[in-house]
Amino acid sequence: MIRFENVGLRYGMGPEILKDLTFSIEPQSFQFLTGPSGAGKTSLLRLLFLSLRPTRGLISAFGTDTSRVTKSQLPALRRRIGVVFQDFRLLDHLTTYENVALPHRVAGKMEADYRSDVIDLLKWVGLGDRMHVMPPVLSGGEKQRAAIARALITRPEVLLADEPTGNVDAPLARRLLRLFIELNRLGTSVLIATHDLHLLEQVNARHLVLHDGRMIVDE
């Protein structure tokens, strides 16, 4: 689905922060991306999400060599990938409903076509009674769930989550993890970037460990 071959990344003339990464995210797989702070997890996520181009190596997404992808082709590829950011990236002037519906709106769909889907999903993540609330009023956990709902509303093939439990307490972290597992069961490949060891212990999944810019795959 997404394949890395000898990928390296450096910012400008700085040192190489990701070195010789070779791995792939298979369809319907579940994996954690972990490593110490500053190991390059967020940079790797940005590469996975096609918002950065590698300095060297090959990244193939859905069978397409990303170095050959033009700027106009990027949106179509990005719509197949859902991203949950650590800082949520919700738009404060839109309601929870409008934030979650944003990917559909951006795709040019009529509201009547997606309204019930958005409401269903909001209920599924436990925000059924918070859909007309602006993000600044939501708690950290609610924002996290809204961000997850926004990433899922278009049923992406891959879900990338950056520290999705970083801002929530342990019970909510477990609930969110269950959410990701359920999504994975429904067919979405999930990659969760985290350095929360407690979270890693709860699920028996593949670990992609980044250390000093290099990756160790722990099956």
Residues of this chain, 13-72, that bind other proteins according to CB under 8 A: 26-30, 49, 51-52, 71-72
Considering the complex, state which of residue 37 and residue 204 has its C-beta at the smaller distance from other proteins: 204
- Residue 150 touches other proteins, criterion: CB under 8 A: yes
Contact 196, 174 (CB under 8 A): no
Q: Applying CB under 8 A, does 216 fall inside the site for other proteins?
A: no
**CB of 20 or CB of 55, closer to other proteins:** 55
In the complex with other proteins, the residue whose CB is nearer, 39 or 179, is 179
Only one of the segments 13-21, 35-43, 61-69, 201-209 lies at the binding site for other proteins (rule: CB under 8 A); that segment is 201-209
- Helices 140-152 and 96-106: crossing angle in degrees, nearest 10, is 20
Q: Residue 36 or 75: which CB sits closer to other proteins?
A: 75
CA separation (Å) from 62 to 5, 24, 87, 150? 14, 11, 27, 21
Largest CA distance in the chain: 50
The answer to whether residues 47 and 208 touch, using CB atoms and an 8 Å cutoff, is no
Is residue 122 within 8 A of residue 128, CB to CB? The reply is yes
Q: Are 210 and 39 in contact (CB under 8 A)?
A: yes
Please pick, from the candidates 185, 212, 216, 218, the single residue that binds other proteins as defined by CB under 8 A. 185
Q: What angle do CA 190, 186, 21 make, to 5 degrees?
A: 20
In the complex, what is the shortest distance from the CB of residue 57 to other proteins, in angstroms, rounded to a whole number?
Answer: 18
Residue 219 one-letter amino acid: E
| Contact residues: other proteins, CB under 8 A | 26-30, 49, 51-52, 71-72, 75-76, 78-79, 83, 89, 91, 93-95, 98, 102-103, 105-108, 111, 115-117, 119-121, 123-126, 128, 145, 150, 152, 154-155, 174-175, 178-179, 181-186, 201-206
